[in-house]
């Protein structure tokens, strides 16, 4: 019933439009549909998690026992592990590294269940207080939506990849109501090397996602700030110091997160691992309540210069009795958020590092600026430093300076802080690059692929469209063609291969010139010998939707220089290894 409803309401109308529109028009329509769907998914996730957090807060306040509040993350992680184990067969790919791996190694094909798996698991984890963010699951969901759409409508690998990125861009755009940041995230983190033609669909999808967020989500659900003080160029030296500190803290974040996550994963039994993680989070939340969930509300408290409200529910509240101890408390949160996020993910929860990075940045900026003011070194705007430092940590952790700069610019509603944002974000990533050339997700991808991904060379093949390399000047023969007729065809052909197709254009075999050369000069066999007797099955076939990485693997495996291209077994043409290598060389020269 559901399948029939889907076909009649969605599949058939879109297929009808595809017949009426040009390829370019249909692709633009597709970017709108993917942006709309991914944006709705992101908005739904935000709404569900916000509702769960309100429910948890109401329960805790109503019973006046913070112990109940601190136990909720354990419940969320256990529910997530249960869902992954019994509904997803213990298979859930987390992080942008998995998306890039799908682009490079799996022809941009992401399993359809990823369209809902991340929504459910991250809602359970973060909604019940797991110390992670929702943006990475939104990106994974959007990417899966774009990939599935491209696969359903049999789009090329290149178009499917762009739609995958469109879905991710819409997810980020909807999460923060920041369309430019969504586009830049897709370009910097996922596509890495992108042509100008991809920007239009990316912009359309991101704008669609941001528009949905603005229309549906209430104020307070999406992270946003209003600037209280303008930029003062006299504070540039302090912004420079903040940028260097942000780089060092970003380096700590990456290494501490990896160390903690690995030790959690080493606990073999998933249930014991989940219990251990939940208990550790319980202890951390008793000490540091702001670690609960995404932590965006606490960031707003810092930006509004109300840090004292963050200690109310802590068992350390009575000890934090003066300004110095409050700064120590907030400073510890910079380091504890990383540990809490790693425990949440490593113990079986699902979430991303986007929100924790912003959290760490906000606390770093506030503590640094408050310390400068208390020491009497200068009078710097604490709210501005709190906001700008978020870009520094985001840039250092994700190696995405443009995304971080424009994200903070968009959520503050203007570009007043553009100069300090650029200073802090650029200095942060420069500091990180001195010690660590790869981002956290870059290292995961490098380990997954067993190759270095420090540069963009490995992505050059992803830019090449297979359909542009297909050669169709091969003489096609029928299985019942006689050797006499084949001889005439061979005499007028400049090729050594002859694809054999049946009445339905299905490729059934290949005749190799070397296999029939001796028979051509034996007239006795000409009358009764047919192509069916002379042909051999293809050593491998290439689908029109495959990427060049898998194609080259087939060339290496078969040790051939020409392989047939088919579309659902229907013969299309041949692709030569030399043409791929020649195009790759051109791409390499253009990228220098």
* Alpha-carbon gap, residue 379 to 370, rounded angstroms: 9
pLDDT at 375 over 50: yes
Q: What is the pLDDT of residue 167?
A: 92
The whole-angstrom separation of Cα 469 and Cα 309 is 63
Q: Given this model, what pLDDT does residue 486 score?
A: 84
Average pLDDT rounded to a whole number, residues 27-36: 91
Q: What is the pLDDT of residues 516-537, one digit of tens each?
A: 877 776 666 656 788 888 889 9
Class for the domain spanning 464-591: alpha beta
The mean of the pLDDT values for the chain is: 85
Note the pLDDT of residue 333: 94
Distance of alpha carbon 441 from alpha carbon 139, whole angstroms: 13
Summarised one tens digit per residue, pLDDT across range 415-472 is 788 999 999 999 999 999 999 888 887 778 777 665 554 444 455 666 677 788 888 8
Higher pLDDT, 530 or 13: 530
The sheet with strand 562-567 has its strands ordered as 542-543, 562-567, 570-576
The per-residue pLDDT for 228 is: 67
Q: List the one residue out of 456, 438, 353, 403 whose CA is nearest residue 95.
A: 353
The answer to whether residue 359 scores a pLDDT higher than 80 is yes
Which one is predicted more confidently, 584 or 505? 505
For 160-205, how does the pLDDT look when each residue is reduced to its tens digit (9 = 90+)?
889 999 999 999 999 888 899 999 998 888 876 666 677 889 999 9
**Choice between 412 and 557, residue whose per-residue pLDDT is larger:** 557
Q: List pLDDT tens digits, range 36-79.
A: 999 999 999 988 888 887 777 766 554 445 555 678 899 999 99
Q: How confident is the model at residue 213 (pLDDT cuts 50, 70, 90)?
A: confident
Q: Is-contact 561 555, C-beta < 8 A?
A: yes
| Res 592: pLDDT | 44
Cα–Cα distance between 204 and 103 in angstroms, integer?
A: 21
Q: Where along the chain do its domains lie?
A: 14-216, 233-453, 464-591
> What is the spatial distance between Cα 247 and Cα 395, in angstroms, rounded to a whole number?
8
For residue 3, the model assigns a pLDDT of 40
3-state DSSP call for residue 377?
coil
CB 515 within 8 A of CB 534: yes
Beta carbons of 257 and 136 less than 8 angstroms apart: no
The single residue listed with the structure tokens 């028009």 is 25
Specify the CATH architecture of the domain 14-216: Orthogonal Bundle (1.10)
Question: Pick the residue with more confidence: 157 or 414?
Answer: 157
Q: CB within 8 A of 68, min separation 6: which ones?
A: 59, 60
14-216 and 233-453: same fold?
Answer: yes
CATH of 233-453 given 1.10.3080.10, 1.10.3470.10, 3.30.56.10, 3.40.640.10: 1.10.3080.10
> Looking at 9-23, 180-194, 338-352, which range is the least confident one?
9-23
413 has a pLDDT exceeding 80:
no
Average pLDDT over residues 98-107: 80
Instruction: Give me the mean pLDDT over the 33-38 stretch.
Output: 92
Residues 294-318 have pLDDT tens digits of 888 888 888 888 888 888 778 888 8
Would you say 576 and 471 are in contact if contact means Cβ atoms under 8 Å apart?
Answer: yes
Give the per-residue pLDDT at 468: 81
Asked if 117 and 267 touch (Cβ cutoff 8 Å), the reply is no
């Amino acid at each position: 019933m559901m399948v029939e409803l889907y076909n009649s309401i969605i599949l058939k109308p879109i297929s009808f439009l595809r017949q009426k529109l040009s390829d370019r028009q249909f692709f633009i329509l597709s970017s709108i549909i993917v942006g709309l769907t991914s944006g709705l998914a992101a908005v739904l996730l935000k709404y569900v998690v916000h509702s769960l957090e309100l429910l948890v807060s109401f329960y805790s306040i109503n019973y006046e026992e913070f112990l109940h509040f601190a136990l909720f993350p354990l419940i969320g992680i256990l529910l997530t592990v249960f869902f992954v184990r019994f509904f997803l067969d213990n298979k859930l790919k987390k992080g942008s590294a998995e998306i890039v791996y799908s682009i490079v190694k799996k022809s941009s094909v992401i399993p359809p269940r990823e369209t809902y798996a991340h929504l459910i698991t991250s809602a359970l984890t973060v909604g019940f207080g797991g110390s992670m963010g929702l943006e990475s699951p939104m990106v994974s969901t959007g990417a899966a939506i774009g990939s599935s759409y491209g696969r359903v409508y049999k789009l090329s690998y290149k178009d499917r990849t762009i739609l995958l990125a469109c879905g991710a861009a819409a997810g980020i755009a909807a999460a923060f109501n920041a369309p430019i940041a969504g586009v830049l995230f897709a370009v910097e983190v996922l596509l890495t090397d992108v042509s100008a033609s991809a920007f239009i669909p990316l912009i359309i999808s991101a704008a669609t996602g941001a528009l949905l967020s603005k229309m549906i989500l209430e104020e307070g659900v999406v992270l946003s700030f209003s600037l209280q003080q303008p930029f003062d160029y006299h504070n540039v030296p302090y912004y420079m110091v903040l940028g260097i500190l942000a780089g060092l803290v970003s380096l700590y974040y990456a290494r501490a997160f990896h160390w903690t996550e690995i030790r959690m994963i080493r606990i073999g039994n998933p249930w014991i691992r989940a219990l251990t993680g939940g208990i550790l989070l319980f202890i951390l939340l008793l000490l540091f309540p702001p670690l609960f969930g995404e932590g965006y509300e606490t960031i707003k408290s810092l930006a509004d210069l109300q840090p004292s409200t963050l200690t109310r529910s802590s068992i350390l509240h009575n000890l934090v009795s003066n300004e110095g101890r409050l700064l120590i408390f907030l400073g510890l949160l910079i380091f504890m958020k990383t540990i809490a996020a790693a425990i949440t993910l490593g113990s079986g929860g699902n979430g991303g590092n986007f929100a924790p990075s912003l959290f760490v940045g906000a606390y770093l900026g506030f503590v640094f600026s408050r310390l400068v003011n208390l020491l009497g070194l200068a009078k710097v705007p604490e709210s501005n430093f709190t906001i700008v430092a978020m870009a520094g940590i985001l840039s250092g952790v994700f190696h995405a300076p443009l995304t971080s700069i424009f994200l903070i610019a968009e959520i503050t509603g203007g570009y007043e802080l553009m100069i300090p944002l650029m200073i802090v974000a650029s200095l942060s990533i420069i500091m990180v690059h001195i010690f660590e050339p790869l981002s956290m997700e870059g290292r995961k991808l490098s380990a997954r692929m067993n190759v270095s991904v420090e540069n963009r060379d490995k992505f050059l093949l992803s830019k090449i469209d297979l359909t542009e390399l297909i050669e169709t000047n091969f003489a096609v023969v029928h299985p019942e063609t006689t050797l006499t007729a084949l001889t005439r065809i061979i005499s007028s052909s400049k090729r050594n291969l002859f694809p054999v197709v049946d009445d339905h254009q299905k490729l059934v075999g290949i005749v190799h010139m070397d296999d029939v050369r001796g028979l051509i000069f034996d007239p006795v066999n000409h009358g009764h010998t047919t192509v069916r007797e002379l042909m051999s099955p293809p050593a491998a076939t290439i689908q029109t939707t495959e990427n060049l990485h898998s194609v080259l693997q087939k060339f290496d495996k078969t040790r051939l220089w020409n392989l047939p291209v088919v579309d659902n077994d229907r013969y299309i043409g041949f692709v030569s290894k030399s043409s791929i290598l020649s195009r790759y060389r051109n791409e390499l020269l253009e990228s220098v």
